[in-house]
Amino acid sequence: MSKQKVFGLLIILALSAFTLAVFAGGKIQYVKSALRTETRWTGNPLIPGKGVCDPAVRIFNGKFYLFATHDTPMDAPQRKGYKGFYMTDWWVWSSTNLADWHLESKLKPDIFGMKGITDCWATDGLSKNGKYYWYVCTPESTYVAVSNSPKGPWTSPLGSKSLMAGRDPALFMDNDGTAYLITGVWTYKIARLKGNLISLAEKPHSIKIINPRGPYNHNGDNTKEPTDDKPYLNKRDGWYYLSWGCYYAMSRNIYGPYICKGSFLREKDIDPKLLQEPWDKDRHGSFFEWKRQWYFICNDRKLSKGMPFRNCVISYVKYKKNGEIEPIKITVKGVRVVSTPDAYTTPVK
């Protein structure tokens, strides 16, 4: 072989090796980048030390909004030594990845003509036709505020009048766009809302739950406290899921009757670092779906400074073939962030 041919062959081999190295390097860099994303987790609790609790997550325009109650720190001077629940406003937090949260808006009870109250209890939100609806409650009644943005400013379309009797509102919008409001403790009522989302379209109906269970009713013999407060309603594959804390029931009809399935949380599935006592009480929370993956977010008080000052934790949700919820695991890692556009298009296995 001539020197020219040998030299040409060496050049070709060198260029090929360089191209392969660049390609491999790029692939390795891509894999490493993907691994960095894959191994970034939200951590639990979310937004620690802020008193964020009773979380209800909604997704508006591809962004996560957390409607929450706000516990006041135990050493806050305004408590003046009071050791019970002390809540003077409601919060909305936002995130684009489930890990980094920003306080978007605060709502004071003054907007409803109530000043100085310290029982601003559970909350939820909806959006329709470019407007945002914030549902809040006191121990007796549920109110609604409206805004053109989750940031506010908020107005009270009903003035000081409540929307529905009962506390701990849960909002649900069905596939046809019809919205419903559920309130109550121990027993729940549901009412269809009008299209304006600020008035009832019907008289509230009582929801029947067959064989109810709850954190105060493990064996079914506590008829006075059969379930819990803070109900929630979501839908999957034609099933309506009515939940209260970590207990739930299922029905094919939104009005019920619902058949109780027990708890989807077990003591053994909670990381010891997050194992509060009792493990199933005050698990007020909500379900939401993002890119075919379901999530559950709820209260947790293990790492907070006492029962009246709580955090919230997030977990994955999986379902059995019959629609029932598989036992949920609460870990200190939480869930993976969702910031990569092409990641998490399939549920976690």
Domain ranges of the chain: 48-200+270-330
Give a three-class secondary structure readout of 234-255.
Answer: EEECCEEEEEECCEEEEECCCC
Contact 94, 62 (CB under 8 A): no
Record the tokens describing residue 140, joined without a space: 């007796």
**pLDDT, mean over the chain:** 89
Task: Assign 157 a pLDDT band (cuts: 50, 70, 90).
Answer: very high
Q: Is the pLDDT of residue 62 over 60?
A: yes
Cα separation, 329 vs 181, in Å, equals 29
Instruction: Decide: pTM greater than 0.85.
Output: yes
pLDDT at res. 307? 74
pLDDT at res. 53? 96
Going by C-alpha positions, the residue among 346, 280, 272, 285 that lies closest to residue 311 is 285
Cα separation, 5 vs 95, in Å, equals 61
Give the strand order in the sheet containing 170-173: 170-173, 179-185, 187-192, 205-206
- CATH number for the segment(s) 48-200+270-330: 2.115.10.20
pLDDT at res. 26? 43
Which residues on neighbouring strands pair with residue 165, listed in sequence order?
141
pLDDT at res. 172? 98
Cα separation, 237 vs 210, in Å, equals 21
Q: Is the pLDDT of residue 36 over 70?
A: no
pLDDT in tens, 72-95: 999 999 999 899 999 999 999 999
pLDDT in tens, 253-304: 999 999 999 999 999 999 999 999 999 999 999 999 999 999 999 999 998 8
165 or 17, which is more confident? 165
The label of the residue with tokens 């997050």 reads 274
Going by C-alpha positions, the residue among 259, 336, 333, 246 that lies closest to residue 287 is 246
Contact 248, 235 (CB under 8 A): no
> For the chain, what percent of residues have pLDDT higher than 90?
82
Q: How many CB atoms within 10 Å of residue 194?
A: 12
pLDDT at res. 304? 80
Contact 245, 284 (CB under 8 A): yes
Q: Is the pLDDT of residue 4 over 60?
A: no
CB-based burial label for 273 (10 Å; 0-12, 13-18, 19+) = exposed
Which residues lie below 8 Å from residue 214, measured CB to CB, with a gap of 6+?
Answer: 222, 225, 226, 227, 228, 244, 245, 247
Give the strand order in the sheet containing 247-251: 209-210, 258-263, 247-251, 239-244, 231-236
Helix, strand, or coil (residue 190)? strand
Residue type, 58: R
Alpha-helical segments (H) within the chain:
3-38
